[in-house]
Amino acid sequence: MIDLVIFGATGDLAARKLFPALYELEAARYLPSEVRILGVGRKPWSNEEFIQHLRQSLQEFQEPLDGEVAERLLGRAAYHSMEYTPEGFRSLAEASADSSLFYLSLPPDAFPTIGVGLGQAGLSEQTRGFRRLIVEKPFGEDLQSALSLQKTLTQYWDESQILRIDHFLGKEAVQNILVFRFANSWLEPLWNARYIAQVQITAAESIGIEGRGAFYDKVGALRDMMQNHMMQLLTLSALEPPPRFEADLLSNEKVKALRSARPLSPEDIVRGQYQGYREEAGNPQSHTETFAALRLYLDNWRWKGVPFYLRTGKALSRKNTTIALQFRDPPTQLFADSSIDPGSGWVELELQPKEAMHLEVQVKTPGLQFASRPVTLTTPTGNGNRLELSAYATLMLDALKGERSLFIRFDEVEYAWRLLEPVLHTPCPTETYSVGSEGPGGQHYLMEPHHRWRPL
């Protein structure tokens, strides 16, 4: 038997994300038959009460819901009530299987307690099966706290046992970045400083904090999005091809990209906060950023001199996650005496809300005049298959298999924090922007001459 032990099984993340993900795996018959779902919590529930909670969660958050699939999944479920004490962890050791995957669906301040408690109870030992620990983001709130948490966990857990989850990496569109880059022989030779003038990575959300003010006001956009999601999109866009698609080889190249980044200064960052945020957060003096934009350079052979612009924010004009690269101007005066504009063109990977590739090119304007106009060639990269697994389902299945390619190794976390550390604690004005806008105007001052942000 394999136990998927979910700490925080009575909480919101489990109800909204984990249980529907497990339903997907059950529906596709990808969930191994020997897997048991063991919910852990402090509530003194019986098995029947937990199963009823699981049933209600699926009814609320899983659409469509097949009753037969749901009952199969419920038949795997059990509950273990415990306090996070040595006695509680010993009781879990007696109740759980030799092979167990421990999912910490809990606030970050509980990670050290649970990680150490499991270790002291012998639940990190792999003498008769595997033991793995899934840790949700954020992994620390700055460099020092991340190093401290790592030191605490690795008292009992080997790095290969710790799976740091970033649900962005489970998305099909994000995984497609590597395929798009390295499986197309016409494109890969162009993906460098010789042909690329700038790179823009955007993760925009149209929603605000939606009742998460108490949490978000302690975090902000830099910690909530930039340190993890945006750094992952950066490294996948910029890394060198690993010799093979293996977890450690891929992480090696991501770390090399982060370590090549030029140190940031206050001039390289713009912070913003949408109007009305302070009322939502319940903090009239808050300077927490809901928008952050960075300009950075990777001083390596492939990207020397190419600015990377990263921005993420809430309450913007639309939901949009993209990676866009602008080609350099053609080195020719062929059209100098005509109305032809040899535009540099863009290639863009749209990750959200649609999965698509856009290629902007110049074509002749119809008619007698020798002039040009831009057109965009678009092709969807998703297949529209409703059976396609969600990000959490993909990551859950990989965790059960022990496949670590889509999880984050600690040195990736460390060097992302090291990159942001110079601007993380530096006082910086927070510019107010309107809800439904493109963000604060100050972001435009990050751009090098002749560069402009692409419209959301």
Q: In terms of DSSP bridges, do strands 291-297 and 269-274 run parallel, antiparallel, or are they unpaired? A: antiparallel
Selected catalytic residue, list 53, 80, 229, 444: 229
Q: What angle (nearest 5°) sits at the alpha carbon of residue 419, between those of residues 238 and 396?
A: 65
Please name the helix (run of DSSP H) or strand (run of DSSP E) that holds residue 358, with its range, or none: strand 356-364
Its pTM stands at 0.92
Tokens matching residue 350: 């749209």
pLDDT at 125 over 90: yes
pLDDT at 112 over 60: yes
pLDDT tens string 428-443 = 889 999 999 999 999 9
Assess whether 190 and 339 both reside in one domain: yes
Assess whether 193 and 229 both reside in one domain: yes
Task: Note if the bond before 138 is cis, omega within 30 degrees.
Answer: yes
Q: Which percentage of the chain shows pLDDT scores above 70?
A: 96
Look at 157-166, 173-182, 236-245 and tell me which has the smallest mean pLDDT.
173-182
Cβ(269)–Cβ(285) under 8 Å?
no
Q: Is 17 part of any known ligand binding site?
A: no
E strands, 230-298, in order:
269-274, 291-297
DSSP 43: S
pLDDT tens string 250-262 = 999 999 999 999 9
Cβ(65)–Cβ(72) under 8 Å?
no
Among residues 114, 147, 165, the one where a domain terminates is 165
How confident is the model over 295-307, as a mean pLDDT?
A: 97
Assess whether 216 and 266 both reside in one domain: yes
Assess whether 177 and 152 both reside in one domain: no
Report residue 365's pLDDT band, with 50, 70 and 90 as the boundaries.
confident
Assess whether 430 and 319 both reside in one domain: yes
Q: Is 217 part of any known ligand binding site?
A: no
Q: Is 337 part of any known ligand binding site?
A: no
The pLDDT score that the predictor gives to residue 332 is 64
| CATH assignment at residue 68 | 3.40.50.720
Assess whether 187 and 300 both reside in one domain: yes
Among residues 165, 193, 225, the one where a domain terminates is 165
Assess whether 134 and 177 both reside in one domain: no
Domain containing residue 132: 2-165
pLDDT, the chain, mean = 92
How confident is the model over 50-78, as a mean pLDDT?
A: 95
pLDDT at 334 over 90: no
Query: Is 396 a domain residue?
Result: no
Q: Is 205 part of any known ligand binding site?
A: yes
Assess whether 32 and 181 both reside in one domain: no
Q: Give the CA count within 13 Å in the CB-facing half-sphere of 407.
A: 27
Q: Is 280 part of any known ligand binding site?
A: no
Q: Is 319 part of any known ligand binding site?
A: yes
Assess whether 240 and 330 both reside in one domain: yes
With a CB cutoff of 8 Å and minimum separation 6, the contacts of 110 are 7, 84, 104
Query: Number of helices (H) and strands (E), helices first, in the chain?
Result: 15, 15
Look up 229 and say whether it is catalytic: yes
Query: Is 405 a domain residue?
Result: no
Query: Is 193 a domain residue?
Result: yes
How confident is the model over 227-248, as a mean pLDDT?
A: 94
Q: Is 12 part of any known ligand binding site?
A: no
Among residues 126, 149, 165, the one where a domain terminates is 165
Assess whether 182 and 154 both reside in one domain: no
Query: Is 86 a domain residue?
Result: yes
Query: Is 452 a domain residue?
Result: no
Assess whether 130 and 32 both reside in one domain: yes
